[in-house]
Structure 1
Amino acid sequence: MSHEYAVKLIARLKDHQNSDNREAMEAYMRNQFEFFGIRTPERTLLLRDFLKENGKPDNEEFPDIVRSLWSEPQRECQYVALGLIDKQSRYLTKEHLPLLEEMIVTKSWWDTIDHIASNHVGKIYQKEEADTYLEKWIHSDNMWLNRIAILHQLKYKTETDEARLFRYIGMHRQSKEFFIQKAIGWALREYSKTNPEAVKDFIASEELASLSVREGLKHVNRKEKVEK
């Protein structure tokens, strides 16, 4: 049964559905999800106004509200759930990892996965260690859990655990999955902004997919070209 707070929020979204936008938004996501047709700027304002009127969810009720939103067929409901978590991100702890895992493995696609990786899982691991989950995810047969583990340090910069980053990438370097190859390249590209030499050495020493190499060296190559 949906939480009352979520029911009110879903009703607000339904009141603003736009059939003119719906088809294009569903096509962009390869018709994997239904949409209300509410574009990001309007959805952001709707959530802001809703929070002004109804307040932020109570910390204890928050997981049930997120689950209620996540269970809805329209993609905007998942986006709003992520927005609510963003508002509560300072309170995220390893106790929220089971909830995040549920979200990662259901209604999975890059749009929700990439947000959860750096904004939610990444923030939790910056505050406290909870190795059980990352290790389980990197060993999982679910590619989205693998992608989360590879990408969670995207915003860490000098705080990046280099050994973990390179180990996780090494474990999946032979993956044929586009989303894993792309994640490896993205993670390496971001870390190259902090430690370009380490990334160059790692790429030179590993047999990575050409997509991962190309993406991983983008920043380094661009910077070297400018300096010439």
Structure 2
Amino acid sequence: MTADDSDPKAPAERLRSALSASADPVRAEQQRAYLRSDLHHLGVGVPDMRRSVTLGRRALGARPAPYVLALVRELWSVPEGGEQVVYEYRWAAVELLVQYARALDATHLPAVEALLRECRTWALVDPLAVHCAGAIASCDAAAGPVLDRWVTDPDFWLRRSALLALLPAIRAGRPDTDRLTRYADTLVDAREFFLRKALGWVLRETSAHDPEFVVAWVERHGTRVAPLTRREALRRLPTAPARQSQ
């Protein structure tokens, strides 16, 4: 990529070429099976992915949000002349959004939402939710109403994303306790594995700063809390509330 690129198609193509050069067919099959993916996989490893995206981002330098989103969409879609979606190209798009997250604000969440609806796997949803949507939410209060809508969306990946977007502020020691309470209460009866796991994960992270909140929440909901959620939520606590054995 070069700093004078004005059309995102050119840098997108160069990034695709760099990723294709790092392809590993054996890893591709393992990766596809592990993720239960129906996309085409190249088998690019994490170090090669991050190196390629970082080099590309450094060459481009600072870019406005519309350009970043156009580049991301170019990578996200089926390549011109191609026949199928390539997992690594979408992964690269997510990595770019994470690295350019500071260029985004709440007005760009609809574009992020559109990608989340198309991810269909935790491997793409989670970094996009935590490190992009979450980065936006942690510094732009206008993101709150968007997350409030996501947490009741019929798509469980959007509900998971709303919850995970709270993590950056939680890890920074400034959790939105009111929103966390509302989201946890909304999702306590969820039967979907990925929601139960995410709820336990977020509560576990919260317990590092506010264990009393987590214990109180688990106690308040009692046996409504799924065993998976309870186990994850209490994992870092030295003692468990009485209801854990029920």
For the criterion TM > 0.5, the same-fold answer is yes
1:106-121, aligned counterparts within 5 Å?
A: 106-121=118-133
User: In 1, are the aligned partners of 2:197 and 2:228 still within 8 Å (CA)?
Assistant: yes
Classify the secondary structure of the residue corresponding to 1:155: helix
Look up the match of 1:212. 229
Normalised TM-score (structure 2): 0.84
After superposition, the C-alpha distances for 1:55-108 in whole angstroms (9 at most, x for unaligned) are 247323111110111124121112211221222122121121011101100022
Out of 156, 159, 162, the residue aligned to residue 146 of structure 1 is: 159
In structure 1, the gaps of 5 or more residues are: none
Counterpart Cα distance in 2 of 1:74 and 1:41? 18
Cα shift at 1:12: 2.2
1:3-14, aligned counterparts within 5 Å?
A: 3-14=9-20
Cα shift at 1:47: 2.5
Look up the match of 1:68. 74
1:169-180, aligned counterparts within 5 Å?
A: 169-180=184-195
Look up the match of 2:4. none
Q: Does 1:79 align with 2:61?
A: no
1:41-60, aligned counterparts within 5 Å?
A: 41-52=47-58, 54-56=59-61, 58-59=63-64, 60=66
Aligned residues: 223
After superposition, the C-alpha distances for 1:202-227 in whole angstroms (9 at most, x for unaligned) are 10001211111111000114799xxx
> What residue identity is the alignment partner of 1:217?
L
In structure 2, the gaps of 5 or more residues are: 1-7, 79-84, 242-246
After superposition, the C-alpha distances for 1:128-151 in whole angstroms (9 at most, x for unaligned) are 112331121011101011001111
Counterpart Cα distance in 2 of 1:56 and 1:19? 32
Identity value in percent: 27
Q: 1:163 to 1:122 in 2, by over 3 A?
A: same
Counterpart Cα distance in 2 of 1:159 and 1:10? 38
Normalised TM-score (structure 1): 0.90
Look up the match of 2:82. none
Cα shift at 1:5: 2.1
Counterpart Cα distance in 1 of 2:239 and 2:44? 37
User: In 1, are the aligned partners of 2:152 and 2:159 still within 8 Å (CA)?
Assistant: yes
Look up the match of 1:29. 35
Counterpart Cα distance in 1 of 2:28 and 2:92? 17
Cα shift at 1:155: 2.6
